[in-house]
Amino acid sequence: MNRRQLLTMIAAVTGTAMLGGQRAFAYLPTPVGENIFSDADAAFLDEVAETIIPATDTPGAKEAGVGAFMTRFVSDCYTAEEQAAFREGMETLKAKAQEGYGKPFEELTADERREMLQAASVAAREESARALAELEERREQSIDQQSSADTAADEQPEEAAEPRMHWFTPFQQLTLFGFFTSEVGATQVLRYEPVPGEYIGDLDYDGEPAWAT
């Protein structure tokens, strides 16, 4: 599975394109700065990710270090507005655990965590479907209005604003992306063929064209 296939799979699972996904490609400039999250944030995100991809007869998300990956990806590939929404999502998740079960997410049983995040996943897909339907309707209305108005022939219909994601969607997307691009996910869960050699997850980039294989 290459990265483009993985992004397509994530969009199919979550019902919407991956936030920041196009900024993850090597040929797009991505400034790397300070990680804006703490070690405690990474540990919390590890627990969330492990609920989404738990260890079974193969390793889970925590062993793959997905929590730390999330903090790095959000710090480097999300806009400031997206970063703020992600932090807000973390607080929403914590609040819903407290409201629904009377204790922090980290203290929930495995069954309680699965129940909570499964409900969030269903709600996220439903919200995504509604938002995409509304977006398409607004675009069609905009096209109709532009067609009926006395406008210049080359004037384009105004693009409708993209709907805001459900708070749970980025956690689900980044868990899948982080796990299946990790050494653990690539070599112990997916079928990995070392071409041309062993797994090397982090290489210095000198500006030359990337490998096509």
For residue 212, tell me if it sits in a domain.
Answer: no
Q: How confident is the model at residue 33, as a pLDDT?
A: 67
174 in Cβ contact with 69 (< 8 Å): yes
Q: Domain range for residue 43?
A: 3-147+158-189
What percent of the chain has a predicted confidence (pLDDT) above 70?
70
How many whole angstroms from its chain centre is CA 180? 12
Q: How confident is the model at residue 213, as a pLDDT?
A: 42
For residue 204, tell me if it sits in a domain.
Answer: no
For residue 208, tell me if it sits in a domain.
Answer: no
Q: How far, in Å, CA of 43 to CA of 81, rounded?
A: 23
Helix (H) or strand (E) holding 48: helix 39-52
Q: What number is the average pLDDT over the span 16-28?
A: 61
**Residue 64 buriedness (CB in 10 A; 0-12 / 13-18 / 19+):** buried
For residue 71, tell me if it sits in a domain.
Answer: yes
Q: What number is the average pLDDT over the span 45-54?
A: 95
For residue 197, tell me if it sits in a domain.
Answer: no
Q: How far, in Å, CA of 105 to CA of 27, rounded?
A: 38
Contacts of 88 (CB under 8 A, 6+ apart): 167
Name the average pLDDT for the chain. Answer: 80
Q: How confident is the model at residue 32, as a pLDDT?
A: 58
Domain count of the fold of the chain: 1
Beta strands in 56-156 (DSSP E): none
For residue 78, tell me if it sits in a domain.
Answer: yes
**Is-above-0.85 flag for pTM?**
no
Q: What is the pLDDT of residues 106-164, one digit of tens each?
A: 999 999 999 999 999 999 988 888 877 777 777 777 676 666 555 544 555 455 455 57
70 in Cβ contact with 62 (< 8 Å): no
- pLDDT reading at 84 higher than 90: yes
Q: What number is the average pLDDT over the span 97-105?
A: 97
Q: How far, in Å, CA of 177 to CA of 179, rounded?
A: 6
53 in Cβ contact with 172 (< 8 Å): no
What percent of the chain has a predicted confidence (pLDDT) above 90?
42
76 in Cβ contact with 55 (< 8 Å): no
For residue 198, tell me if it sits in a domain.
Answer: no
For residue 202, tell me if it sits in a domain.
Answer: no
